Structure 1
Amino acid sequence: MIKNYKVQNMKFWEGRVDSESDYDSFRWHQVVKPLDLNDENLKTFDGKLAFCFIGFESDLGIKKNKGRLGAAMGPEAIRHELANKPCNFSKDLGLFDAGNVSADGLSLDEAQGILASCVERLLELNYFPIVLGGGHETTFGHYKGVFSYLNKREDKPNIAIVNFDAHFDNRPYKDQGPSSGTMFRQIHDLNLENDLTYNYMVMGIQKSSNTVSLFKYADETKTQYVLAREIANGDLYPVFDRLDDFLIDMDHVYMTVCSDVFNSSNAPGVSAPQPFGLNPELVVKLIKYVLNSGKTISFDICEVSPRFDQDNTTASVAAVVIFTVVTKLAARVHR
């Protein structure tokens, strides 16, 4: 039995029903199916493409990072906004929900370890994981699951990390411990220990939200970054070129979104609101461009905090981002 893991209560997946027979009128809540990772008889998905949600109910990293708590409630808020999304994909696409990992009563490392094992199992079962955070500490657990899965199957896999974020999240952790601001330094060290290259690109960086030391560390580790102001003007072609250069030699892409990358008018419900954050439409265009590489293996979106949200705006933005990921990848597979 997986510790601190619970199967999703499917009553949360409810919404409008336009038709019970016309698939073109269906919404996500009518097709999503439960998945129990404690079921030893689970079989590998044998279709072309299946997505599986798993929530990470954690504020531990945000608390250690002295941020605003509330992201542990993010997974259910995002599911609520996803429920009424239209099924803009073929009937044979699989849409599943594997429930949640709770950090209650655990250390951050323990909770991330459990999430890692769940992500690895989903990949083994041929599902595309979509992890619903939780604080952005979600990333280290998620990445460890992807890392473990690939490391068992390939010789020195070249894994690219594409992060949409106002922050580098590469702060030191040896003295004060890991948090929601240290994950990418932890990933760097994990890769170094295993003689793997560290391939990290972050888009949406705010100069006002990162110290000089963090910029220096980014340069030392050859982190690729794009400032928010370089994206905000809407001229994305130079960014596309940089993405091409970054992704061309990569085998796999792990993509993560911290909701504080968005402008606070679009995402008020986050740990660290950004008044000069990005328009979600621009971020969606960049996400689509990364997905076009055909290399994305897993995805998460983090730091949706219902406690500070207004009219579910932040959760709604997260749901549209996930809708984009699902429909874009479905279109690539079924075209």
Structure 2
Amino acid sequence: MSFAEPEHWQGTSSDPSDEQFGHVVEATSLDKASEYDAVLVGEPYDGAVISRKGAADGPAAIRAALAGIKSHHFDAGPVSSIGDLGDVVIPDGSVAEVQDAVRATTAEIHAQDTMPVFLGGDNSLTFPNVAPLLESGSVGVINFDAHLDVREVPESGPTSGTPYRQLHDAGLAGYACVGARHFETSTAYHDFVLDNEGEVVTAEEVSDDAVAAIDSALSALEHVDTLYLSVDIDVLDAVYCGASAPTPGGLSPGDLFRAVRLAASDDRVAGFEVVECAPPLDEHNRTVDAAARTVAQFLAGWSA
């Protein structure tokens, strides 16, 4: 297990009253992680992406954008006590070998008394990010995503489209996809989710009523002990979305922020991630900025 040394954080404003995440996030180490309410963990990997790559650049870009965001939320107040463990060192090897190596690291992170916030990286690492939680009780995932990502694992190994099938096979107790798009998922995969008592909440439903949409997702997961929240940034509409598979008909950033903040307020939440943000595919940093603000919204909702 190893991390690349985290960089020093600093704000971008010359106004001493402008407290930004760059002023409140501190570089730290695993042995000191429990001193912080939450810790950031970068996962610069896109070796499992089915289509266009670029997500390996996500962690650095999200951190850079987050540093300049002000720390105050009007309802929750200021966000504080955030550490940064740096980036997980990703080994060479197959996707399965990378998942195994990352899982050993995330198990150590989950063992600390802090909230892990994973900055991806591609969606294949959702499996090792969640898997250690399965060892200590029933776990459910709310997946903010245009797609269900429950493909069967092919003989060639896992991909960015297989993490929730892998988690189901490993004992995941509940699954809800929020923001799913019509005509983006095969019937077989929708049937798989329903056959396993999962829930699919469409992008239209979120746009119509974010509170009701999150209530539907949480109701489907009321039987689990622990919740994990995952945001695949392609849940955003293509206009805002620099990712491997952008499509029209998705969420606005505002809809995503509210939905994530509502879900984050559940006392069972034990982890969060933003994945598939691909800066090389972005325009004018729209997606990077949205991803960074999604992290901020999660922290505000969780700490409120």
Q: Give 4+ residue runs of structure 1 displaced > 3 Å after superposition.
A: 89-93
Gaps of 5+ in 1: 152-156, 192-196
User: What is aligned with 2:193?
Assistant: 218
What code does the residue aligned with 1:16 have?
S
- Could you tell me which residue of structure 1 aligns to residue 104 of structure 2? 117
Tell me what 1:246 maps to: 220
In structure 2, the residue matched to 1:105 is 92
Measured after TM superposition, the shift of residue 44 of structure 1 is 6.1
C-alpha distance in 1 between matches for 2:218 and 2:130: 22
CA RMSD of aligned residues (A): 2.2
CA distance in 1, matches of 2:189, 2:79: 45
With structure 1 as the length reference, what TM-score do the two structures score?
Answer: 0.83
Cα distance, 1:327 vs structure 2: 1.7
Q: Is 1:229 aligned with 2:209?
A: no
* Cα distance in 1 for residues equivalent to 2:130 and 2:211: 29
Deviation for aligned residue 1:199: 0.3
Structure 2 unaligned residues grouped into runs of 5+: none
Letter in 2 for 1:164: F
Partner of 1:87: 71
Q: Which of 35, 50, 60 lines up with 1:76 in the alignment?
A: 60
The answer to whether residue 18 in structure 2 is matched with residue 25 in structure 1 is yes
| Gap change, CA 1:244 and 1:57, over 3 Å in 2 | closer
> CA separation in 2, counterparts of 1:31 and 1:94?
7
> Do the aligned residues in 1 keep the contact of 2:96 with 2:157 (CA within 8 Å)?
no
1:98-127 deviations in Å (ceiling 9; x for gaps)? 111243523222322333233322232212
Q: How does 1:184-333 map to 2 (within 5 A)?
A: 184-191=164-171, 198-232=173-207, 234-267=208-241, 269-331=242-304
- For residue 57 of structure 1, the aligned residue among 38, 44, 67 is 44
Q: Secondary structure at the match of 2:183?
A: helix
Matched, 1:15 2:12: yes
Which amino acid is 1:297 matched to?
A: A
User: Where does residue 173 of structure 1 map in the other structure?
Assistant: 153
1:149-207 Cα shifts (integer Å, max 9, x gaps) = xx2xxxxx12110000011100111423100000000001111xxxxx52000011123
For residue 10 of structure 1, report the CA deviation from its aligned partner.
2.3
How far apart in 2 are the matches of 1:274 and 1:208? 10
1:272 to partner: Cα distance: 0.2
How far apart, CA to CA, are the structure 2 residues paired with 1:224 and 1:125? 30
Q: Deviations over 1:207-226 (max 9, x none)?
A: 32111221222222222111
Residues 211 and 262, structure 2, Cα contact 8 Å, conserved in 1: no
Partner Cα distance (2:217, 2:114) in 1:
26
Q: TM-score, normalised by structure 2?
A: 0.91
Partner residue, 1:45: 34
Provide Cα deviations, 1:308-329, integer angstroms capped at 9, x if missing partner: 1111110000011111111222
Q: Cα distance 1:92–1:207, how it changes in 2: closer, same or farther (>3 A)?
A: closer
For 1:311 and 1:92, how far apart are their aligned partners in 2?
A: 26
* Distance in 2 between residues matched to 1:176 and 1:282, nearest whole Å: 37
- Partners of 1:222 and 1:173 lie apart in 2 by 20
Distance in 1 (alpha carbons) for counterparts of 2:278 and 2:79: 33
* 1:283, distance to aligned residue in structure 2 (A): 1.9
CA contact (8 A) 1:32 1:97 kept: yes
Count of paired positions: 301
Partner SS state of residue 160, structure 1: strand
- Mapped partners of 1:92, 1:116: distance in 2: 28
The one-character-per-residue Cα deviations of 1:56-96 (angstroms, maximum 9, x if unpaired) are: 1111110xx2x101000000010011001223278894211
What is the CA-CA distance between 1:43 and the residue it aligns to? 4.3
Contact 1:118 1:145 in 2 (8 A): no
- Bigger Rg, structure 1 or 2: 1
Q: Secondary structure at the match of 2:151?
A: coil
Give the Cα separation in 1 of the matches to 2:39 and 2:218.
28
Q: Read off the aligned partner of 1:34 and give its amino acid letter.
A: A
Paired-residue identity, %: 25
What's the CA shift for 1:303? 0.5
1:6–1:240 CA distance, 2 compared to 1 (3 A)? closer
For residue 140 of structure 2, the aligned residue among 160, 165, 176 is 160
